[in-house]
Structure 1
């Protein structure tokens, strides 16, 4: 009888936290600085505070479902078990847009950025290089990936703290006239801040990704909710404090465009800080690619193990490293699209997939806890009905803010998934029972 190879439960709380932060990439605050600054009319502190409030409801729902179902699969598992398996498949299929294109975006950004720094080396060389390196690292095991993620995330956090320390030093020298102004200004309309917050919410993506590694986490039912909360709180503290100190130092700052972060570095710390920024940013992009590759391969593994994708391919684990090696190779082959696809197109896929998953995870909490488990005391009604419904409404509103092309493409992807699932089930029904059992 063939022994089933299982994922190893080795990840601790803080390893999970750092993998989530690696996917999120704390340095994304600077890479999106120009866009966020322009969208919020310079009121980044209020915009990030609103974004934290918005994303908290969905983070709570992920925590609740990860406690109830400590399995790999994330939104696919939660919607499938909380609502219905057919809904779970479509949610997992939608989430694939987020997870599949995330490593591709990291590879593409790495290629673009490194080519800008070293113009004599073509971008495709950098893209192919990071593709191969991350493929090998991920196959070697999640614990090794977690160690690298921890080191590189700590490097990013240290840089942000150093940046904030310079800002504090400037404030100490010049004095602060109105310390509450970044939070209390009323010059920018609330509608503008809400629109900016909807954009900034994507800086928090990553807390959800760690739930795909539940079966590689020690005591996942307790660890995952704590990890999600820690990821959100750490990221919020970094983003809001950096925005606050920057606004105090430069109340009349006006920056926009892709080079806004480089201009900010020169203003705060000159050429030395700019050079350090470039170095840390390279490691940040590398780490994000590693974390996102780890995430998507675990989602594919969960769908393969459930036979909603071909099990002999997607449900395969390497007998020695206990990693979904075939998934890792396949995702890296898919990520070669980074050689041809535009960055903004890839981002649209990620946005649609993430928001769709968020919407249904919120509804899964209501379905599982409030309806099926009948947890309806006053406190439970707030936790399992009111909070997740608020989260679903907010995420639904954010979906309407996506452009038409993103919505049309996303819906087409879902329809394709539904057609594939119908064909797959029909094909499985036509296979003789003995053959099906032998194949699985």
Structure 2
């Protein structure tokens, strides 16, 4: 066993030393932090009002249901990451198990999510900064956020890792500080019921289910840690653990914060559900404290922007390295920093689209690619079982039942998307199919494949 580990270590080290390849530097803590930053710990405060309104005052239950539902898909990602420790996420798994053409279309669909998510993260960040400092317009904050984030990511993974840990830690601290103020407030004004946030006379399965579907959007990005497979130490162990830990930690944090907020404000009736956290902060701590609470979203937003752009650039790089996208541009790594600079610059430039677009429009179409990717990864686990029945550790419960339930959940979530999201997603897929036809000259040429070395 020790000889096998030593051989694997030598192979990993040799791969890391190859020019033009990503190198394994990230620890489990670093990967988990990236995943939590991607999900944005302060997001629960931002969307609490909407979730509580839809669920009739049972926001923590909605978050727990969403956590359980997304956990099924997280287990599928963990299995795939263990068997195929390669960057590229759903794109790579589909290519390996279902076929290169399907993999291409999945990668193209997920690209819609990954390419525009940094823009959404920066737009949210800029809206909060504009609310805090109205003298600076939103478009200026967009340029500042995109520029700073791109610069940090270009300098190198080590700096990005350190900045991300500091900012995510600060964001979590501010969220916990908000919770502490809520608990002090509750000590002076005890709630009438401690169980009402989980179930009350107004709540019902339909409302909680609808709210859970909305809450599930908060978990988008847990899968992004799989794009760091080639930059994580011992990826076969680190990435699967990180995927599960991100969902577990993030989900429990969301549910706990929502429970405390629901105790402070029972029920689901609000003057404006979109600014509940701010008005609640004024109530429990005053105006100055509310301003600091707003900083939690700002700090968390910058950390999220870092993580989102990092994973987006890695997916673009992998697709460029495979020749799916123009290799000279997308498949290039900077010799000094070891980062895909062209991909980072491109994702930064996409922020220009967000200079004249609403947040609702920006977020309406990115979920299509995410949920399609989730569905395909669950399907990949079932395909893996069919191909490897009888292999030790490949059991029907974990490789068929759980992912099948995951497929049902993600397909249901897709039905909850707006018509705008489905239309844009469908048009994007059609454009991808047309590009695939051109790339393969009408399927007369093979779709570019992952190299054997990339698959470990």
- TM bucket (normalised to shorter chain) is over 0.9
- 1:120 CA displacement: 2.7
TM-score, length of structure 2 as denominator length: 0.89
Q: How does 1:239-388 map to 2 (within 5 A)?
A: 239-252=254-267, 254-255=269-270, 256-368=272-384, 370-375=385-390, 380-388=395-403
SS in 2 for 1:80: helix
CA distance in 1, matches of 2:402, 2:429: 27
Query: Does the 8 A contact of 1:375 with 1:381 survive in 2?
Result: no
Q: Deviations over 1:117-155 (max 9, x none)?
A: 333322221111112111111111122111111111111
Query: Does the 8 A contact of 2:59 with 2:258 survive in 1?
Result: yes
- 1:228 CA displacement: 1.1
Q: Deviations over 1:23-76 (max 9, x none)?
A: 110111112223222222221011111111111101111111011111110110
SS in 2 for 1:387: helix
Determine which of 222, 230, 235 is the counterpart of 1:207. 222
Query: Does the 8 A contact of 1:134 with 1:290 survive in 2?
Result: yes
- 1:253 CA displacement: 6.2
CA distance in 1, matches of 2:198, 2:136: 45
TM-score, length of structure 1 as denominator length: 0.92
- 1:279 CA displacement: 2.0
Tell me: CA distance 1:206–1:160, structure 2 relative to 1, closer, same or farther (3 Å).
Answer: same
Query: Does the 8 A contact of 1:101 with 1:349 survive in 2?
Result: no
CA distance in 2, matches of 1:120, 1:300: 36
Tell me: CA distance 1:188–1:252, structure 2 relative to 1, closer, same or farther (3 Å).
Answer: closer
- 1:163 CA displacement: 1.9
Query: Does the 8 A contact of 1:58 with 1:391 survive in 2?
Result: yes
Partner of 1:94: 109
| Structure 1: gaps spanning 5 or more residues | 432-440
SS in 2 for 1:203: helix
Q: Deviations over 1:255-300 (max 9, x none)?
A: 2333222112112222232021122221111111111110110001
Determine which of 58, 68, 74 is the counterpart of 2:73. 58
| Structure 2: gaps spanning 5 or more residues | 1-17, 447-456
Moved more, 372-381 or 342-351: 372-381
CA distance in 1, matches of 2:262, 2:434: 51
CA distance in 1, matches of 2:147, 2:443: 35
- 1:251 CA displacement: 2.4
- 1:225 CA displacement: 1.0
SS in 1 for 2:197: helix
Partner of 1:436: none
CA distance in 1, matches of 2:187, 2:119: 43
Partner of 2:209: 194
SS in 1 for 2:395: helix
